[in-house]
Amino acid sequence: MSSESSYAKDPYREQLAFGQRTQILRTRRGLTRDQLGGLVGRSGSWVKAVETGRLKTPALPMVLRIAEVLRVRDLSDLTGDQSLRVSLFAGPGHPRFAAVREALNALQLGPGHDAPPDAEHLSARLARAWRARHSAPNHRDVIGSLLPDLIRDARDAVRRAGTVADRKAAQAALAEVYFLAQFFCAYQPDAPLVWRVAERGMTAAQDSEDPHTIGLAAWLTTQAHRERAHLDAADAVTLETLRYLEPMLPDAGTDVRAVAGALTVEAGLTAARRGETGTAWRYWDQARALAESLPAGYFHPVTSFSRAVMGAHAVTVAVELHAGGESARQAARAEADAIPSRPRRARHRIEQARAYHLDGQPDAALATLAQAHEVAPETVQYNGYARRIILEEADAKSPARRRRASELASRLGLLTA
């Protein structure tokens, strides 16, 4: 099937074969066959054979790996089997998502009816929101309850700012609200909204002219690009922002140096996604040096960058490089309990589970996901990698492993999707 005919068909509506659906979804993601093959551990010729029907539909583990790379909305979108209606990366949608989306989409042209909160009050509310995000096991629920009012008030503060300095400070606060919203909207069933929030956050950050805020906007934008496999765009944002921050670092405060460290980690993860082993670990070493320059107990409230998370980042670098043995070694070495943030600790556990699964240790992977669920259930519930591992092992040959995976799937609501 030609590229032109790929665009003419809709894999969500027509009764197409698995290979045809794969080709259409791959084309929409902007991936070549070689790129898709590399990301799932196969060759470009293997992908072509699947797409043209010369090879039959792969086994479930490979189907899930392809779904992971293509970020399909629902497993049935890739397989065509409506009995497999299981949401993967988009997630089922948080109960508070509709209210947050409504607040983000609302058009506020004039000033609000009430006086806007002063900058100090807005800053205090944001600080409380970040603390809640790191400490609450149901952090999405807590943040989702706070975001609608924060979005409205931060926008109002920008409109009513009386001086240039006040307006820049208000833009920095608004950007931070958008950063919080981007965390909440990740893995929710509206991918374009995540991009709109990321773009608004970057615009507000640039208007603030605050290096720390600009660095945070770049950090989140880089992740959004990499999740869509836009690796060149991810590098462009990361490296340009690092060039902007670098001259400031000798005299910069702790937060700016932490953001530079977080961006350096992102550069390493993008290199790892490309399979560039030496480059990925070089960036990790540079980030570790920045982390060691920070106070021992320091923990950045947005990026979580600190000495405590460098082991977690090492696990992710190894996993993205598809280095099974190395990723398992890093996973066994990294200390999750040293990470003070519940969602970041749970996400580290998920990365450890990915490492064990990649290394052929599915029982260890499931046990680690169970630990992640105990720390922050919502982090696991809305994470596509965790969902893929659990779904795959729910079809395992081992009865004990099937039972354990099925129990986790039930707790996540995966079996009722």
Domain assignment of residue 188, yes or no: yes
Higher per-residue pLDDT: 364 or 394: 364
Which pair of structure tokens corresponds to residue 15?
A: 């009764």
Q: In terms of domains, do 186 and 108 share one?
A: yes
Percent of the chain surpassing pLDDT 70: 91
For residues 75-83, average pLDDT: 71
Tell whether the model's pLDDT for residue 83 goes beyond 60.
Answer: no
Tell whether the model's pLDDT for residue 92 goes beyond 80.
Answer: no
Percent of the chain surpassing pLDDT 90: 58
Higher per-residue pLDDT: 273 or 89: 273
Query: Which run of H or E residues covers position 135?
Result: helix 119-135
State the residue for tokens 């010729």.
45
Distance CA 380, CA 360 (A): 21
pLDDT for the residue 257: 97
Q: Phi and psi for 87 in degrees, rounded to 5?
A: -70, 135
Domain assignment of residue 104, yes or no: yes
Q: Write the pLDDT tens digit of every residue in 259-303.
A: 999 999 999 999 999 999 999 999 999 999 999 999 999 999 999
Q: Write the pLDDT tens digit of every residue in 95-141.
A: 999 999 999 999 877 665 566 677 788 889 999 999 999 998 889 99
Tell whether the model's pLDDT for residue 392 goes beyond 50.
Answer: yes
In angstroms, how far apart are the furthest CA atoms of the chain?
67
Which of 25-34, 270-279, 343-352 is predicted least confidently? 25-34
Q: In terms of domains, do 78 and 168 share one?
A: no
Distance CA 309, CA 336 (A): 8
State which residues form the domain around 202: 94-207
pLDDT for the residue 84: 52
Q: In terms of domains, do 69 and 43 share one?
A: yes
Q: In terms of domains, do 146 and 196 share one?
A: yes
Higher per-residue pLDDT: 166 or 413: 166
Q: In terms of domains, do 60 and 132 share one?
A: no
Q: In terms of domains, do 107 and 181 share one?
A: yes
Task: List Cβ<8 Å contacts ≥24 apart for 105-108.
Answer: 106/151, 106/152, 108/152, 108/155, 108/156, 108/159
Last residue of a domain, one of 84, 114, 135: 84
Q: In terms of domains, do 18 and 38 share one?
A: yes
Q: Write the pLDDT tens digit of every residue in 236-254.
A: 999 999 999 999 999 999 9
| C-alpha distances in Å from residue 132, one per residue of 125, 165, 206, 299, 302 | 10, 29, 27, 15, 12
Tell whether the model's pLDDT for residue 417 goes beyond 50.
Answer: no
Last residue of a domain, one of 60, 84, 108: 84
Domain assignment of residue 222, yes or no: no
Domain assignment of residue 345, yes or no: no
Q: In terms of domains, do 76 and 173 share one?
A: no
Domain assignment of residue 110, yes or no: yes
Q: In terms of domains, do 109 and 20 share one?
A: no
Total domains present in the chain: 2
Q: In terms of domains, do 98 and 199 share one?
A: yes
CATH number at residue 39: 1.10.260.40
Domain assignment of residue 72, yes or no: yes
Which of 65-79, 173-187, 316-330 is predicted least confidently? 65-79
Higher per-residue pLDDT: 107 or 50: 50
Distance CA 151, CA 107 (A): 11
pLDDT for the residue 189: 79
Higher per-residue pLDDT: 9 or 24: 24
Domain assignment of residue 59, yes or no: yes
Q: In terms of domains, do 169 and 116 share one?
A: yes
Q: In terms of domains, do 159 and 197 share one?
A: yes
Last residue of a domain, one of 207, 222, 254: 207
Tell whether the model's pLDDT for residue 317 goes beyond 90.
Answer: yes
Domain assignment of residue 24, yes or no: yes
